[in-house]
Amino acid sequence: MTQDLDFGSLLALRGHDLPSVIQVRAHATLPSDIGKQLLDTISAASTHLLAGALITLMPSDFRVSVLPIRQRASD
């Protein structure tokens, strides 16, 4: 679990399947602020986390990117 947004870039560049990472994109990160949402997200995304995923946790939602992350081709 991290607030460092570079983890997603590193996972994409290296093409790894694991480890799964939960990336928090919020200002309020105390357990009292995001604890319930974090536990709910882990429960909802558990299959993806076990298989390899980057989970981006935002104040009102979360996004799942399955690993390995494929970089988009340049035009």
pLDDT by position in tens, the chain (length 75): 999 888 778 877 788 888 899 999 999 999 999 999 999 999 999 999 999 999 999 999 999 999 887 765 554
Q: How far apart are CA 51 and CA 67, in angstroms?
A: 8
> Contact, 21 vs 42, CB < 8 A?
no
In the chain, beta strands by DSSP E: 21-24, 53-58, 61-66
At 5 the pLDDT is 84
Is residue 49 included in any domain, yes or no?
Answer: yes
Is residue 73 included in any domain, yes or no?
Answer: no
Q: How many domains does the chain have?
A: 1
Q: Where does residue 11 rank: exposed (0-12), middle (13-18), buried (19+ CB within 10 A)?
A: buried
* Residue for token pair 């983890």: 7
Is residue 35 included in any domain, yes or no?
Answer: yes
